[in-house]
A = this chain, B = another copy of it.
Amino acid sequence: MSVFPQQAEVREVFAQHLRDNNQRQTPERFSILDEVYETDGHFDAESLLKKLVEKGVGVSRATVYNTLDLLVECDLVVRHQFGGKHAKYERAYAYWQHDHLICEQCGEVLEFCDPRLQGVRDMVGGIYDFEIRRHALTLYGLCRRCRGR
């Protein structure tokens, strides 16, 4: 019965979203939410399923994918499509908006935040008359170690 800071808050956000869309509050969905919020950093659907199964929480792959979609809808989770073929997810509530820096050699992922991005969003949105809702910036390069060898 593990708990994390803000568990109640996050559960309430999810519950509200489900109520708003006439969807059920099932135990599976909350188990998945909890597991996501106990996870630091990026994860993929398969490893999330694996951890749940190992803990003895009976959920199926279909339910994991379905629930991740719901969590993305209500902004409790963000989905990233870095380079590979499978999506990565990350919890998003009360977590700073950030971008990513990836080493193409060793795969290390770092996070950063640059205020100029807000300026870019505002300006580009203004020019093309778009209402910008989110963005994804990923910088690819070589870290110090990999550059060494």
Give residues in A with beta carbon < 8 Å to B: 81-83, 85, 101, 103-104, 110, 112, 114, 116-117, 119-121, 123-125, 127-144, 147
CB atoms of A114 and B103 under 8 A apart: no
As for how many copies of this chain the complex holds, the number is: 2
| A101-B130, A103-B130, A130-B101 known; A141-B125 Cβ under 8 A | yes
Task: List B contacts of A112 (CB < 8 A).
Answer: 124, 127-128
Given contacts A140-B133, A143-B129, contact A116 B120 (CB under 8 A): yes
Contact B135 A140 (CB under 8 A): yes
A81-B81, A81-B83, A85-B85 are known contacts. Are A124 and B140 too (CB-CB below 8 A)?
no
Q: Is the interface of A mostly helix, strand, loop or mixed?
A: mixed
Q: Contact partner of A131 among B114, B124, B128, B141, CB < 8 A?
A: B141
Inter-chain contacts of A83 with B (CB < 8 A): 81
Complex alpha-carbon distance, A123 and B99, angstroms: 14
Q: Give the residues in chain B near A144, CB-CB below 8 Å.
A: 129-130
Instruction: Using CB atoms, name the residue of chain B closest to A140.
Output: B134
Contact in complex: A135, B139 (CB < 8 Å):
yes
Q: Which of B103, B114, B128, B130 contacts A120 (CB 8 A)?
A: B114
